[in-house]
């Protein structure tokens, strides 16, 4: 009787074990398929090019040079181009060349949201003659591969205001690149006038009330930049211009050091400030010409016939000159004058300047 009972028990135990293993295999298969389907769905959802660069999908790119995502390093000076423009303009190219010529021992990386470029464009050819200039694809899938910006990116909140889309991508891309890789970031409207500070962890004031992110240098995973990236999805307002740009940079540093970093500034206009290991350069260091519109401010960069170019070059001690593209882009100049912009171009971006002269293009 006992023997029969044990035989039945072993029989049912085997069946139970078989059912358990079968159930486990089915669950693992379901889980694998679910995960695979989710990954495929996310990959499909992250087709960001058609959202950020809708015109790109209608272009013939068969003869273009294909770009790849390349990780920058903590010794790289990098630019990001987020407007998906069909061509690269002379003023932007001049900016890149000024950085390259003042830093011949550093890689100057130009990261473009367009995955291809027209390799026969004379502007590109002029830049690629510089051995330290590299071009790469600013692939948003790779850039925003980690939280907290991964979900923010996939939710496409940066698409909600069409006229600010490229600005939102630019503001978020620079801080995420600095957080992950470190290095030095420059806007594509920042002419470099002399070698940038050799140390890291610095930013500059725009005016007494605000920092600006057009010139920044930080080590990877710096606590200040990390705090900005962590806060960015919470404060981003797609219907306001600067919530994840200068406003966020300023508020986060003030929150970190309310006594050292004053808001608004209460120290002398030429005084340096510090917050933990962050150096805050005064506005004349990176923004020597004030951003307000007018011939005495930002439009002074294109004024000809008054010798302003030579005067500026002789007197300035600035590292850079920010052109505030949104305010100055319509103020193009045809070459042959003595403006501040052309004087700088002759001296510090001769390759691009020569191309513009040859083709009778404006700067």
Match 């979900």 to its residue by tokens.
151
Is residue 171 included in any domain, yes or no?
yes
Closest C-alpha among 190, 212, 191, 194 to residue 203: 212
* Residue-range definition of the domain harbouring residue 176: 56-292
How many structural domains compose the chain? 1
Is residue 101 included in any domain, yes or no?
yes
33-62 pLDDT per residue, tens: 444 443 344 444 578 888 788 777 667 777
Task: Give the model's pLDDT for residue 322.
Answer: 97
Is residue 285 included in any domain, yes or no?
yes
- Could you list the beta-strand ranges (E) of the chain: 65-66, 77-81, 108-112, 116-117, 133-137, 183-186, 190-192, 202-207, 210-218, 273-275, 278-281, 320-322
Weakly modelled stretches of the chain, pLDDT under 70: 1-45, 57-58, 86
Give the Cα separation of 111 and 125 in Å (integer).
Answer: 16
Is residue 298 included in any domain, yes or no?
no
Task: Give the model's pLDDT for residue 29.
Answer: 54
Task: Give the model's pLDDT for residue 21.
Answer: 52
Task: Give the model's pLDDT for residue 230.
Answer: 98
Is residue 189 included in any domain, yes or no?
yes
Task: Give the model's pLDDT for residue 8.
Answer: 44
Is residue 312 included in any domain, yes or no?
no
Q: In angstroms, what CA-CA distances link 77 with 98, 128, 191, 216, 308?
A: 12, 16, 13, 10, 29
Give the Cα separation of 141 and 294 in Å (integer).
Answer: 41
Q: What are phi and psi of 356, to 5 degrees?
A: -65, -40
Task: Give the model's pLDDT for residue 13.
Answer: 46
Is residue 68 included in any domain, yes or no?
yes
Task: Give the model's pLDDT for residue 307.
Answer: 94
Closest C-alpha among 332, 329, 218 to residue 278: 218
Is residue 27 included in any domain, yes or no?
no
Give this prediction's pTM. 0.86
Give the CA-trace dihedral at 202, 207, 213, 217, to 10 degrees: -10
What CATH number should be reported for the domain holding residue 172?
Answer: 3.90.550.20
Give the Cα separation of 100 and 253 in Å (integer).
Answer: 30
């Amino acid at each position: 009787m006992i023997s029969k009972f044990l035989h039945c028990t072993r029989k049912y135990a085997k069946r139970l074990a078989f059912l358990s293993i079968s159930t486990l295999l089915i669950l693992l298969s379901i889980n694998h398929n679910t995960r695979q389907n989710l990954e495929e769905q996310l990959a499909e959802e992250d087709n960001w090019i058609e959202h950020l660069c809708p015109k790109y999908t209608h272009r013939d790119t068969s003869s273009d040079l294909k770009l790849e995502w390349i990780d920058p390093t903590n010794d790289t000076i990098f630019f990001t181009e987020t407007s998906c423009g069909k061509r690269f303009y002379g003023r932007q190219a001049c900016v890149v060349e000024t950085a390259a010529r003042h830093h011949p021992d550093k890689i100057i990386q130009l990261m473009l949201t367009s995955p291809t470029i027209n390799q026969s464009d004379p502007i590109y050819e002029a830049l690629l003659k510089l051995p330290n200039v590299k071009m790469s694809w600013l692939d948003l899938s790779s850039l925003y591969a980690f939280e907290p910006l991964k979900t923010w990116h996939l939710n496409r909140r940066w698409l909600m205001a069409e006229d600010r889309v490229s600005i939102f991508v630019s503001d978020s891309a620079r801080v995420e690149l600095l957080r992950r890789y470190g290095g030095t970031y420059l806007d594509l409207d920042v002419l470099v006038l002399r070698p940038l500070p050799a140390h890291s962890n610095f930013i500059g004031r725009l005016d007494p009330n605000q920092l600006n992110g057009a010139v920044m240098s930080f080590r990877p995973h710096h606590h200040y930049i990390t705090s900005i990236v962590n806060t960015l999805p919470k404060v981003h307002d797609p219907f306001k211009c600067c919530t994840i740009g200068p406003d966020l940079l300023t508020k986060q540093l003030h929150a970190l050091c309310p006594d050292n970093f004053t808001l608004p500034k209460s120290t002398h206009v030429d005084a340096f400030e510090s917050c933990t290991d962050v150096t805050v350069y005064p506005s004349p260091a990176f923004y020597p010409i004030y951003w307000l519109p007018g011939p005495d401010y930002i439009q002074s960069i294109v004024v000809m016939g008054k010798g302003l170019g030579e005067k500026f070059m002789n007197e300035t001690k600035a590292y850079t000159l920010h052109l505030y593209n949104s305010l100055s882009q319509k103020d193009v100049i045809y070459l042959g004058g003595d403006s501040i912009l052309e004087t700088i171009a002759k001296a510090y971006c001769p390759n691009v300047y020569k191309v513009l002269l040859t083709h009778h293009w404006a700067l």
